Amino acid sequence: MKEHFPTPILSQSQEDYLKIILELINVKRVARIKEIAQQKNVSMPSVTEAVQKLAADGLVNYSAREFVELTAQGAHAARNLSMRHLFLRNFLIDILSIPPDQANSEACALEHYLSENTLERLILLYQFISSCPNNETRFLKDFRQCLAVSSTHSPQKGACPECFIQTHFPHLLNDQRTIHLLLSELQEGQTGIVVMLGPDAERRHALIARGLVPGCSVHLVRKGTLEKPYELLTTAGQIRLETQFAQYIEMALRVDENEQNQP
C-alpha cells in the first residue's frame, strides 16, 4: 500500500535542514550536528534548536549527542524537496541555458515558492520541449539561437539584431482587430500591451529594470523627440522613456478599443 503523508507547512530554513540531513545520510550514512552546521553555515546551537523543532513536528528523530535520523514523513518531505531542486536546476540549464553554478543557486531559491500545480506545468513544458516527437526540438534550437543573438557576449553582432527586427519584429497577425507595431509607431492617446522586447541585450535589461515587461499595459501620453522623452502611463505607473528605446518595444494594439478612446 502506498504511503501517504500530509504535506507539512515548513519554513525555507526547515526545508534546507531536511535536504542537508538527507544528503549527509545518503553520502555518509549518518547526519551529525557538526556536519549539518558546516553545510548550513550556522552555529551548532542553532542546528540543535532547529533539529529539536523538526523532531517536535515528527520529521526527525534526535536525542542529545546522537545522530539525526529522518522519520518516514521527514524522508518523504526531504526526497520531494531534493527532486524538486534537481528538476528546477535541470530546467534552468537545459531549457534556459543558465550556467550550472547559477542554476544551482537559483533552483535553491525557486524550490521553496513554486506551487505543486506550477511545478507540474513546468515539468510538462520540459517534457514537451525536450522530448515530444512532434516538436523535434525545433523550438529549443530556435530559442537557443535567439539567446545567442540577444546575448551581450554574442559574436553575432551588427546585422543580426537588425535583421531580426526587420523580419520578426513586429509580428504579423491574422486577427484584424489586433495589430502589432512598435512603441515608436504608437499615437498619443493610444493604449497597447507590451508583447516583446528587442534583441539588444543592454536596452532590454534597461527596459526590464523600468518595469516594461511583456504583459504590461502602456498608454502613450506624449510622443518623444530628440529633446524630450516619451511620457508613458504603464501598469506600474508613469515612466519617461528616451526615444532610442521606442523601436525596441513591440506592442499589441486593439484597434476597436483605441478607436473608442479617440476624441
Q: Give the domain CATH number at 191.
A: 2.30.30.90
Same domain, 4 and 120: yes
Which cell numbers in the block locate residue 81?
A: 524537496
Q: Of 66, 101, 136, which marks where a domain is finished?
A: 136
Say if 150 falls within a structural domain. no
Of the two residues 132 and 18, the one the predictor is more confident about is: 18
Same domain, 11 and 107: yes
Q: What is the CATH number of the domain that holds 64?
A: 1.10.10.10
Q: Range of 22's domain?
A: 1-136
pLDDT digit string, tens, across residues 168-208? 555 555 456 788 889 999 999 999 989 888 877 888 888 88
Most confident of 60-64, 162-166, 259-263: 60-64
pLDDT higher than 70, residue 12: yes
pLDDT higher than 70, residue 72: yes
Same domain, 122 and 248: no
Q: What is the pLDDT of residue 1?
A: 38
Same domain, 10 and 107: yes
Say if 147 falls within a structural domain. no
Say if 13 falls within a structural domain. yes
Which cell numbers in the block locate residue 111?
A: 524550490
Q: What is the pLDDT of residue 4?
A: 52
Q: Of 85, 102, 136, which marks where a domain is finished?
A: 136
Q: Of 136, 151, 183, which marks where a domain is finished?
A: 136
Say if 157 falls within a structural domain. no
Say if 95 falls within a structural domain. yes
Q: Torsion angle of alpha carbons 151, 156, 159, 161, nearest 10°?
A: -20
Same domain, 127 and 46: yes
pLDDT higher than 50, residue 161: yes
pTM value is 0.69
Same domain, 180 and 110: no
Same domain, 99 and 35: yes
Which residue from 97, 208, 76, 206 is spatially nearest to 146, judged by alpha carbons?
Answer: 97
Same domain, 122 and 172: no
User: 2: pLDDT confidence band, cut at 50, 70 and 90?
Assistant: very low
Average pLDDT over residues 37-54: 94
pLDDT digit string, tens, across residues 95-106? 888 999 999 999
Say if 152 falls within a structural domain. no
Cα angle for residues 171, 175, 181 (degrees, 5° grid): 35
Same domain, 72 and 174: no
Say if 151 falls within a structural domain. no
Which residue from 63, 73, 74 is spatially nearest to 22, judged by alpha carbons?
Answer: 74
Same domain, 120 and 247: no
Q: What is the pLDDT of residue 254?
A: 81
Same domain, 208 and 167: yes
User: 222: pLDDT confidence band, cut at 50, 70 and 90?
Assistant: very high
Say if 241 falls within a structural domain. yes
Same domain, 48 and 120: yes
**What is the tally of structural domains in the chain?**
2
**In the chain, which residue ranges form alpha helices assigned H by DSSP?**
12-28, 33-40, 44-56, 72-94, 100-110, 116-131, 138-150, 159-168, 201-209, 255-261
